[in-house]
Amino acid sequence: MSKQFVFFISFFFLVNVVFIISQLFNIYRVVQVDASLRHNIVPENGRYVGFPAKDDIEKINAVGFFGHHEEIRGGGNNGMSYKVNSQGVNDDVINNAPETRLAGKITGLLLSDNHKYSLVVIERAGKQASYGMGDRIADSNVVILRILQDKILLDENGYYVSMILKD
């Protein structure tokens, strides 16, 4: 082997060793700073930067980045919310529950004297499927609660909503 080749290999090896040591030092330094933030440095207000305290969660939720569910679901009864189990299924809920935002439509109803045997056919994304009471609509968090002559009553994320049979 020539001296130039040996020098090149030695130089390349030395540069790589220096690079690896510098990277290890950077990792060690980041870990040390992170540890000091967790244990030694406390801001004036007594809270760590970057992690919300439990009492800050209400402030964050109050901002309403994604809207307020109560306002959206308010609907027909002076802004009254139709939360599942808060008042039970009564005539007011059946008549005034806001319409669902679930993409889909009722394409058929099969009613029975015994409401447990009633069925509804719902079309979503070009596919039709039949559901009974208590069934969860495919690819959603929506459960069928009641099947009526012109609509169905649903539980959508804990709120009563309806899907109306349209011509």
What pLDDT, in 10s, does the model give residues 152-162? Answer: 999 888 888 89
Bridge partners (DSSP) listed for residue 122: 106, 129
Q: Is the pLDDT of residue 87 over 80?
A: no
Q: Is the pLDDT of residue 5 over 80?
A: yes
Kindly indicate the confidence band of residue 71, based on its pLDDT and cuts at 50, 70 and 90: very low
Query: Do residues 100 and 120 make contact, with C-beta atoms less than 8 angstroms apart?
Result: no
